[in-house]
Chains A and B, each alone.
Chain A
């Protein structure tokens, strides 16, 4: 272990002592779409992972024990870190887009700057649900198409149509393994947020 990511320090390097503002961006997408790869490409630390667990009282009573049923939701996710300035640090999260994950969205990702929906054109259906939930939560996002096939069998316009994606949502090709490509995806997202914030500030 560790040899594949030898360019990153094995031990967690500490943040600058002046660090005061943490920010979040979430990468969502289906299984194997390249979330961890994307995080690793720009992170200053080896991606770490952790989980959140939530126990909810269920609706029914267990007939054999007479005890109220409980459901446990466990969501694992990984993350990396980018120190933007001495004071500001951006955390990039790679999160699974499946259903149970969205129960925990508010507890984990309220206040997030925005999201990147990572799409694999061979399995576009996986992206539908994520897009729907982000719209529901009012989280701004961009769509990044991870070109596994190296080329484009589908144009971005075709993919936009297939995903029924509104015109105002930016779409971009990417290779999650390439740092400059991932950097470009993040800049596209923050540019988009900036435009939205500017429009909002100009509306009295």
Chain B
């Protein structure tokens, strides 16, 4: 039995978008920055085209999700496809690791500096 990835108001659309897959790649963080490595080829799935266009400049997963109006899980699946075929590169967050690990003081100092300059 093929399970739908998610149940929402538009399950059919999400089902089509992900080809019925439900397993998202959790290595993509909400703030993983995505960069396109190519222009979309003819015949590319429309969501993939949109992502490749948006990510001409670095773009966080969560911004892609907002722009495409697709849940995070679905975007993770789509990014997994593009990454596996080398059409995007990703810049994962430094601070994301174990849940409760504190980042180092050097990073925090840089953050403080940036905030004070706001």
Give the interface of A toward B (CB within 8 A): 12, 14-17, 19-24, 42, 48-55, 70, 72, 74, 79, 81-82, 84-85, 88-91, 93, 106-111, 113, 137-140, 179, 183, 186-187, 190-191, 193-194, 196-198, 200-201
Contacts and interface: CB of A to CB of B under 8 A. Distances in A.
A50 to B, nearest CB: 4
Contacts of B116: 187
B41 to A, nearest CB: 23
Contacts of A197: 102-105, 108
A interface secondary structure, majority: mixed
Contacts, number: 162
Interface of B: 3-8, 22, 26, 29-33, 56-60, 62-63, 65-67, 69, 71-73, 91, 93-100, 102-105, 108-116, 118
Contacts of A89: 31, 33, 60
B interface secondary structure, majority: loop
Given A53-B8, A91-B62, A113 B99 contact: no
B95 A187 contact: no
B71 A190 contact: no
A201 B102 CA distance: 10
